[in-house]
Structure 1
Amino acid sequence: MRVVVPLLASFALRTSAFSPSIRSGSVRTFHQSTLLNMARKAGVSSPEELKDFVAKAGDKLLVVDVRNPDAEKEPGDQKSLAVAALPSEDNRPQAVSLIYDRETSSLPLPDVDKDTPIITHCGGGGRGQLAKDFLLENGFTNVLNGGGPKETDCWAEYGSK
């Protein structure tokens, strides 16, 4: 029975029957926060961590979007791209698109100081974590994984940057 509870909790988070009270901005109980963190992919920062990080970073923040618009390479990205477009001159001024390539386990390095505050993201956090790890391995020192548009409470903290 203990195995069923986390599965039901994860399912409940993804259904409208449970999540409206969490998404409405109401105060979360310990139980709700625990359930939300269980549903996140490993390494995705909490909304609270992201909010603090964004506030401290100010205009030095760099958001690295690692999603791939090529549906043949990353078919799963199409859903998140429909929700949130890739960065451009007119969209998300503090963000850049640096595609994470699964074949080479790499992405182009941003042309910024190594201590620049960086949030990586993909659609939901998997490649965002791989990108974070890659940047850390290449000398960047101030990097968080923000998940992506799928993590709506995290996305609300940095998605417009």
Structure 2
Amino acid sequence: MNWTILLLFAVALLLVVVLRRAGLISARDAREHLRKGALVIDVRTPGEYAAGHLPKAIHLPLDQIETTLPKHVPDKNTVLLLHCQSGMRSGLAKRKLRAKGYTHAFNLGSLGRAGRIVGGK
């Protein structure tokens, strides 16, 4: 009985990790977009951003991104690389922006992963 519960927990955990990773842009593709001028967007709260952020990252909090992004980035063909603390909010931001016509919005994931890809963290 205990093995069954442990096995179910392990499968559930693996499923969460796989599904979370499925929405991320690959490091290789992200670096290629960066070389071509992609923008890095930090969707964390103002407090999180103030505590530390990537150089050149544009701060547009998730709860404001749908209204503020068009003012900063009117061209919906611009490549946007979104990140947050864990990758969850940036995934949500990606879905919101794609629904608004920003078809080149990608989830970089967590601040740590974004820092390894972009550099500076």
Same fold (TM over 0.5): yes
1:43 paired residue among 13, 23, 38:
23
Could you list the runs of 5+ residues in structure 2 that have no partner in the other structure?
Answer: none
Residues in 1 aligned to 2:107 and 2:10: alpha-carbon distance in whole angstroms: 27
When residues 96 and 146 of structure 1 are mapped into structure 2, their CA distance, relative to the original with a 3 A threshold, is same
CA contact (8 A) 1:121 1:148 kept: yes
**Structure 1 or 2: larger helix share?**
2
**Structure 1 or 2: larger strand share?**
2
1:155 paired residue among 115, 118, 121:
115
Q: 1:117 aligns to what?
A: 79
When residues 115 and 105 of structure 1 are mapped into structure 2, their CA distance, relative to the original with a 3 A threshold, is closer
Corresponding residue SS for 1:128: helix
Shift of 1:139: 1.7
Superposition RMSD in Å: 3.3
1:86 paired residue among 38, 53, 57:
53
Could you list the runs of 5+ residues in structure 1 that have no partner in the other structure?
Answer: 11-36, 71-76
Corresponding residue SS for 2:58: strand
Residues in 2 aligned to 1:157 and 1:108: alpha-carbon distance in whole angstroms: 25
Alignment identity in percent?
31
The alignment's TM-score, normalised by the length of structure 2, stands at: 0.68
Q: 1:3 aligns to what?
A: 8
When residues 39 and 135 of structure 1 are mapped into structure 2, their CA distance, relative to the original with a 3 A threshold, is closer
Corresponding residue SS for 2:41: strand
The alignment's TM-score, normalised by the length of structure 1, stands at: 0.54
Q: Number of aligned pairs? A: 113
